[in-house]
Structure 1
Amino acid sequence: MPPIDDRENARVTAKPSRRAFLRAAVASGGSAALAACLDDESSLDAPSGVAEPASLPDRQHAWNDALPRDGDGNVRPPAHHVFLGLSLTSEPDAAARETVATALREVEQALEWSGDGVLFTIGYTPAYFDRFDASLDDAVDLPEPDPIVVLAVESNATVDTNDALVHLASDDAAVVLAVEAALFGERGRLNGRSLSATLDAVFERSTRRTGFVGPGLPADRQDGLEGIPEGEPVPDAAPFFMGFRSGFRESQATEDRVTIQEGPFAGGATQHFETLELDLDVWFEESDHEQRVARLFSPEHAERGAVGEYGERLGAETGVDAVTDAIHEHARKDGVVGHAQKLARAREDGEPVLLRRDVNTTDGDAAGLHFLSLQREIGEFTRVREAMVGEEFGRYGLGPRQSNGILQYLRVRRWGSYLVPPRAHRALPTPAPEP
């Protein structure tokens, strides 16, 4: 496990103009943005990868041991993210499969599997597997994505029906841009290494979404952004637009818990990925800090002052498991239930079932969130989302537009489900690949 380091403080104290520039470069993409990030266009000056990628974990989603921890022991996610929706332009035959396998393997040889280098996954939609005569292996729960599960959450969601999604993540903005360019034939070398295969021989990019996470990054972007009121309300140290920390160790499933255990895709996981617009005008203007704490965590957290300005008092544990039994009393007496308080009731034997890797986004110049969760089965995500909606609290007058967690501040815009295979089957898998 990487040791605690001082990069967290560096990310808070770095000049806002530089942080904002790097975030904007990732959002815009392209060769010009990459060149602007590099002092020397010939090299990224990033740590080199491994000579033999077979030495890497079989799980594509095995990121936690490759990332540092913050001062409380929570995994610190990479700062910069790119999500590429891909559509096939050729048949997923043996030749195409080898091209994809080579392109991904060469990225791992060029760059270290870490936040200083690059972490990435490729996942496949139900639409991808529908082209095959055979059915997806029974051990995989990957139904067609159905946004009706958002129930009372206001939405106008577009379902992702492309074939695949590549998620790139790094603390170095230039790295994610360079990897994207290399994968799609816009660079012949990556971190000083020549490349022989690219994804653009097999796929075309159908969507491109970008994100960022970390102390100071949302505050840098809040001025003049659609959906955020004037006055720069996002705390400087907050890693998310809503003003609070997330990803607490106690509220995250382990990578073991979200990993498929049986069948040819054992070692993989399912992935839910959606894009949310945030109504932060209402979030910040119509409630004070204590009310925001009550809605995000619980009324008891607000009463005890347990959270602090942005969650710094919570350490690695939100403590919501201790207030789940009081949730109906809070709904009846306080007229509010907490978002995290509701989600805690969907745990299994007290343990979370989702591993979330959310990031902020300003795609479309609007404040938003790319919500990414990994789980063993999509059905587990559905169960947690139903707990989040909390229809039962309507009996207390807490509909989706009242103080029922944070529902009223969310608008679902895109929605997709993916199988993230183990590394051995990540290149254009069949529904039931041979071991």
Structure 2
Amino acid sequence: MSPGTDEWSRRDVLKAAVAVGGAGALSACLDLTDEPVPEGVSDPSTLPARQHAWDDLLTRDGAENVELPRHQTLLYLTLDREGTPTSDDRRAVEEALSTLDRAYERSNRGLIYSLAYSPAYFSRFVDPLPENVDLPEPRRLSPFETPEFDRQDALLHLASDRADALIEAEEALTGERDTANEVTIETPLSAAFSVDSRRTGFIGKGMPAEKQDVAGIPDDDPVPEESPLFMGFKAGFAKNQASEEYVTIPDGPFAGATTKHVSKLRQRLDDWYVEQEFDDRVAEMFSPAHAERGLVEGIGDNLGDDSGVTPEIIESVREHAQQYGRVGHAQKAARANRDDEGNVRLLRRHFESTDENEASLHFPSLQRRITDFEEVREAMNGTDLTDEPAIRQRVNNGILEYIFVKNRGNFLVPPRRLRVLPTPTGEVPGL
């Protein structure tokens, strides 16, 4: 059953509040609910050792696919000094993050977050990162993109099903309020960092349909009401996602860390919905075989925990290009997304956005090495297939015709023990 008008209005207010932020937005959220936000822990050392350990703390659907928190905020941060951070900087960051841990249960009902660091941050130091940490500067990953590169020092990723918790935590971190879930903030994160860029988003059934009145989506409201994403299909199938263990750096000074690539993709879906029929969209999102065999119903809930991109479908990509005159997005990317033992290499945690009143997608991806992501993106580009007459670089080539890269950034997500302004040698002096 579709949500009623009152529920849709409530969701609209919450998504708009997260996008706008600030005290007024928080007040609007609080007017809609009096349910308390679950409190955090008295001893933050009892929390998971990995900052990126989210999966066991989140809900799952009937097929055991992890469901990401519905509201998300990305804060791109710049350290307020030249050179290396000081002990005072580290104490300020540690106090701010520890307050969050005490204030909010680490779950989708409370607040989940991670703090990651860029190559530019580590370049402040004389020592290099260890050889087993693959963290290059961001770069163009296709011949047809011109992204802006995110080289801020750090990225704080906040996520929650509770819009009020998300906004309140941000307000407390940036020094705009004195408490977070009734826990006093002695030192805000803004004592060490400035927010260079604030980006927001959402994911979950019903949410994209409610926010589709933006640039990039046709005026006739084509996004299915039950879809968690603007393009009308679900994603994040459990068997097509790397495990948190797999993407974790296993040894060295940063054992327990992972790397994080975050891109922002502008979406132009007029042709996706106007020129393409449902089977066309299935063929370009999954594979032509999915469309021919009728493998996808609606948004794809019938697929369960697997996208259905089999080894046979992957190996047939050139044959499909010749036979059907198009190839699928998932089909192409899957060519590089498993290692020699068959393990999936990337853990994707993407979500939609209407920042700047346009449809876009924030695409965080976790992997052991940034190179892993770059190799999968190269396979997704399908440049090697453009010698087939029907396949052009952006047309009949998966979903490339409909997405445009605006930003790229690379980050290291340290384990919790090193989350506070670490050195490249894996230390946090002064704490």
Per the normalisation by structure 1, the TM-score is: 0.94
Aligned to 2:357: 365
State the 1:151 CA deviation: 2.6
Equivalent residues in 2 for 1:135-174, closer than 5 Å: 135-147=128-140, 149-152=141-144, 155-174=145-164
Asked if residue 273 in structure 1 is aligned to residue 262 in structure 2, the reply is yes
Q: 1:404 to 1:253 in 2, by over 3 A?
A: same
Equivalent residues in 2 for 1:217-228, closer than 5 Å: 217-223=207-213, 225-228=214-217
Equivalent residues in 2 for 1:213-292, closer than 5 Å: 213-223=203-213, 225-292=214-281
CA deviation profile, 1:312-348 (whole Å, cap 9, x unmatched): 1111111102411211110111111111011111111
State the 1:13 CA deviation: 9.2
Q: Is the 8 A contact 2:418 2:427 kept in 1?
A: no
Asked if residue 198 in structure 1 is aligned to residue 188 in structure 2, the reply is yes
Alpha-carbon separation, structure 2, partners of 1:433 and 1:378:
19
Q: Is the 8 A contact 1:425 1:433 kept in 2?
A: yes
* Runs of 4+ with >6 A deviation: 9-14
Alpha-carbon separation, structure 2, partners of 1:305 and 1:15:
33
CA deviation profile, 1:127-151 (whole Å, cap 9, x unmatched): 111111111122210011112x123
Equivalent position amino acid for 2:326 in 1: V
Equivalent residues in 2 for 1:53-68, closer than 5 Å: 53-68=44-59
- Of 72, 89, 112, the residue aligned with 1:81 is 72
State the 1:10 CA deviation: 9.4
Aligned to 1:390: 382
Say which SS state the counterpart of residue 73 (structure 1) adopts: coil
CA deviation profile, 1:267-289 (whole Å, cap 9, x unmatched): 01000001000110111111111
Aligned to 2:43: 52
- Of 308, 313, 317, the residue aligned with 1:327 is 317
State the 1:399 CA deviation: 1.7
Alpha-carbon separation, structure 2, partners of 1:139 and 1:411:
31
Alpha-carbon separation, structure 1, partners of 2:204 and 2:151:
30
Asked if residue 27 in structure 1 is aligned to residue 39 in structure 2, the reply is no
Q: 1:415 to 1:131 in 2, by over 3 A?
A: same
Q: 1:357 to 1:263 in 2, by over 3 A?
A: same
CA deviation profile, 1:51-98 (whole Å, cap 9, x unmatched): 111111110000000001101110011000000000111351112111
Asked if residue 422 in structure 1 is aligned to residue 415 in structure 2, the reply is yes
Q: 1:402 to 1:10 in 2, by over 3 A?
A: closer
Q: 1:246 to 1:109 in 2, by over 3 A?
A: same
Q: Is the 8 A contact 1:97 1:427 kept in 2?
A: yes
Alpha-carbon separation, structure 2, partners of 1:297 and 1:332:
17
CA deviation profile, 1:91-142 (whole Å, cap 9, x unmatched): 5111211110111011011110000000001111101111111111222100
Alpha-carbon separation, structure 1, partners of 2:188 and 2:130:
28
Equivalent position amino acid for 2:215 in 1: E
Alpha-carbon separation, structure 2, partners of 1:12 and 1:98:
48
State the 1:20 CA deviation: 1.1
Alpha-carbon separation, structure 1, partners of 2:69 and 2:3:
11
- Of 101, 120, 143, the residue aligned with 1:108 is 101
State the 1:401 CA deviation: 2.4
Q: 1:12 to 1:143 in 2, by over 3 A?
A: farther
CA deviation profile, 1:172-212 (whole Å, cap 9, x unmatched): 00111001011111111111111212111101000000000
Equivalent position amino acid for 1:128 in 2: Y
Q: Is the 8 A contact 1:298 1:320 kept in 2?
A: yes
Q: Is the 8 A contact 1:12 1:215 kept in 2?
A: no
Alpha-carbon separation, structure 2, partners of 1:33 and 1:157:
31
Alpha-carbon separation, structure 2, partners of 1:102 and 1:271:
24
Equivalent position amino acid for 1:419 in 2: L
Q: Is the 8 A contact 2:13 2:28 kept in 1?
A: no
Alpha-carbon separation, structure 1, partners of 2:355 and 2:427:
40
Q: Is the 8 A contact 1:127 1:163 kept in 2?
A: yes
RMSD after superposition = 1.7
Asked if residue 176 in structure 1 is aligned to residue 166 in structure 2, the reply is yes
Q: Is the 8 A contact 1:44 1:174 kept in 2?
A: no
Equivalent position amino acid for 2:401 in 1: Q
Alpha-carbon separation, structure 2, partners of 1:289 and 1:188:
51
- Of 117, 120, 124, the residue aligned with 2:113 is 120
Identity %: 47
Alpha-carbon separation, structure 2, partners of 1:40 and 1:316:
34
Q: 1:97 to 1:379 in 2, by over 3 A?
A: same
- Of 198, 207, 226, the residue aligned with 1:208 is 198
State the 1:305 CA deviation: 1.2
Aligned to 2:344: 352
Alpha-carbon separation, structure 2, partners of 1:55 and 1:44:
26
Alpha-carbon separation, structure 1, partners of 2:41 and 2:263:
32
Q: Which structure 2 segments of 5+ residues have no match?
A: none
Per the normalisation by structure 2, the TM-score is: 0.95
Alpha-carbon separation, structure 1, partners of 2:187 and 2:408:
30
Alpha-carbon separation, structure 2, partners of 1:14 and 1:336:
43
Say which SS state the counterpart of residue 320 (structure 1) adopts: coil
Q: Is the 8 A contact 1:267 1:422 kept in 2?
A: yes
Alpha-carbon separation, structure 1, partners of 2:162 and 2:421:
28
Say which SS state the counterpart of residue 187 (structure 1) adopts: coil
How many residues were matched structurally?
422
Aligned to 2:293: 304
Say which SS state the counterpart of residue 67 (structure 2) adopts: coil
Q: Is the 8 A contact 2:236 2:348 kept in 1?
A: yes
